[in-house]
Structure 1
Amino acid sequence: MKTDIWGTVNLPSPGIEFHDVVRHRMPFPSFRFLAEMLCIDEDLLGKRMGMSSALLSNATTVGFFPLSESRRLYGLIVALQASCELFEGDVQAAGVFLRSPLRCFNSNAPLEMLITEEGASAVIDLIGQLEHGVLT
């Protein structure tokens, strides 16, 4: 079963239109949807994504995230979509996977790896390996 994370968080699929959303800053309600989908408190999600309480408070007030955090949230959505595909549409299983510490990430959860582009690439690579049964 295919789960459309993009539609669930009220964002267009990756492409030009989504590029414009990220460039103009990710809306705070999308973050709220992500926290709900991952069954994680908004403050804890922000912390795991490397966001300060002050930044989250400001995003709540203005309704948008700065560009760097918008890019991190983009990485989270990509990872969540890939995880949902790995777990055949099971959003809860995908959330558990993203929140669980893994030895291959030095006991960090994939969610914590999404702070950097390199970490996000490593998470997506791992999901691809798991999907194809190729582990190194």
Structure 2
Amino acid sequence: MTNKSQYRLTESTHHAQPKLWQSAGLPASGGIELINAIQKGLSIDIITRLNDELDVSKMYILNATGINERSFARRKTEHGRLKPEESERVARLVRIMDSAIALFEGDKKAAVEWFNTSASTLGHHSPKEMLATETGALEVTNLIGRLEHGVFS
């Protein structure tokens, strides 16, 4: 019989890095809470948090999400919220970047570099270029899944 007092519970010294969705300020990675936030319109502050977290420019984030710079500036002065369709595209970027960061074992710089590199399996487009449509984003997600499982075609 094993004596339970033989075993000591120790606190792990390894703390997982927060997911991008957490650092960016999304309320959740999916589900009703995220849907409600998207329908309300995400705070424009998410763009700044993303550019800080990914170490990319504001224009990079706006281009990747298809948000016009003038529209963004207008939202900033009007009410500080993105439109629901813009919010959806930002959430899509965050979701896919989280997957890419996981693929590169937490290396955000490598994930961003990969995100900008054309892939033959994406018709010689970069993952970033594919985000304009949900179908393109799905192809990027599928590619990440194949790479995680060692399927390179």
Is the TM value for this pair above 0.5?
Answer: yes
- Segments of 4+ moved more than 3 angstroms: none
> After superposition, where does 1:111-130 map in structure 2 within 5 Å?
111-130=128-147
Distance 1:21 1:104 in 2: 33
Looking at secondary structure, tell me which structure has more helix per residue.
1
Q: Give 1:44 deviation, angstroms.
A: 3.2
Higher RCO structure (Cα 8 Å, ≥6 apart): 1
- The CA RMSD over aligned residues, in Å, is 1.7
Which residue in the other structure is 1:10 paired with?
Answer: 25
Q: Pick the structure with greater CA Rg.
A: 2
Contact 2:24 2:50 (8 Å CA) reproduced: yes
C-alpha distance 36-107 of structure 1, shift in aligned 2 (>3 A): farther
Distance 2:87 2:128 in 1: 15
- Unmatched tracts of structure 2, length 5 or more: 1-15
Report the count of equivalent residues. 136
> After superposition, where does 1:34-45 map in structure 2 within 5 Å?
34-45=50-61
Structure 2 residue 102 is the aligned partner of structure 1 residue 93? no
- Unmatched tracts of structure 1, length 5 or more: none
Q: Give 1:36 deviation, angstroms.
A: 2.3
**1:12-50 CA distances to partner (integer Å, 9 max, x unpaired)?**
222221111111112111121112233221123212322
TM norm structure 1: 0.88
Q: Give 1:7 deviation, angstroms.
A: 1.2
Contact 2:117 2:127 (8 Å CA) reproduced: yes
